[in-house]
Chain A
Amino acid sequence: MSEEKKVPFLQLVFDDFILLLFLGVAVYAVSYLIWGLIEIAWTPPIPDEIKQALLGR
């Protein structure tokens, strides 16, 4: 019984195909979501030079 407890963590992951299926979708879903949020957060406003050239203020 004590030997069974020593199953490495990665082996547990690789042996569970449902978990691998879930990770295969979830890892990319989360990464792309975070990437998108970073893109949105870093989008700058329209530069003042462009606004001044048209609006004159």
Chain B
Amino acid sequence: MAILPPREGWFHQKVARDEKIWMGLAFVVSLFLFFWMIVWHVYAKQNPSFVTYKTTPEEFYELTQAFIDKYRIGEENGIPVVKPPPGSDVFLLARQFRWEPVLVLKKGEEYRFHISSLDVLHGFSLQPVNMNFMVYPKYDYVLTFRPTSAGEYYIVCNEFCGIGHHMMVGKIIVEE
């Protein structure tokens, strides 16, 4: 807002040259930022290219159970441990207050992660690499995932989901 009201008849006056230059510069900067956003997305790999599918908690639970039954190799603290073959669809279910199953993956191989919640909003936070995604109920969030180093990784919930939120820790084991 200007301190003084504009002069009478300002609307019909010609736009001054310096104002045109400033507008032109602002336009060029905004165009640059727009295209830079696309370049950043493609080359910097900062944003995951993702696919989202609609689902229901019942359907996703059924799919996750079928996935666990198919590739189960053991159990850890009451949570099934699953070793899916490379290139397969991997299902990870978030619920108050656990992640299931524990996943055993192979280094350098690609997997298609399907992540959804059974109840409320959760946050998928892979530590210590610090990759973060939101996990919604009724939506299957699909990520193409290729582990690049072996070791044990933890999934912590980073959206407050209730009284046991701080105990909601899952695990991904990456083998050589």
**Could you tell me which B residues sit within 8 Å of A by CB distance?**
1, 6, 11, 52-55, 59, 62-63, 66-67, 70, 89, 114, 139-140
Contacts and interface: CB of A to CB of B under 8 A. Distances in A.
A11 B55 CA distance: 50
Interface hub of A8, A14, A55 (most chain B Cβ within 10 A): A55
Contacts of B139: 43
A46 B55 contact: yes
Contacts of B66: 54-55
Residues of B contacting A: mostly? mixed
Interface in A3-38: 7-8, 10-11, 14-15, 17
Contacts of B114: 46, 50
Contacts, number: 37
Interface residues of A, number: 17
Given A54-B70, A55-B66, A46 B11 contact: no
A14 B140 CA distance: 45
B61 to A, nearest CB: 12
A43 B89 contact: no
10 contacts: A7-B11, A8-B11, A43-B53, A44-B54, A45-B54, A46-B53, A47-B53, A50-B63, A54-B70, A54-B89
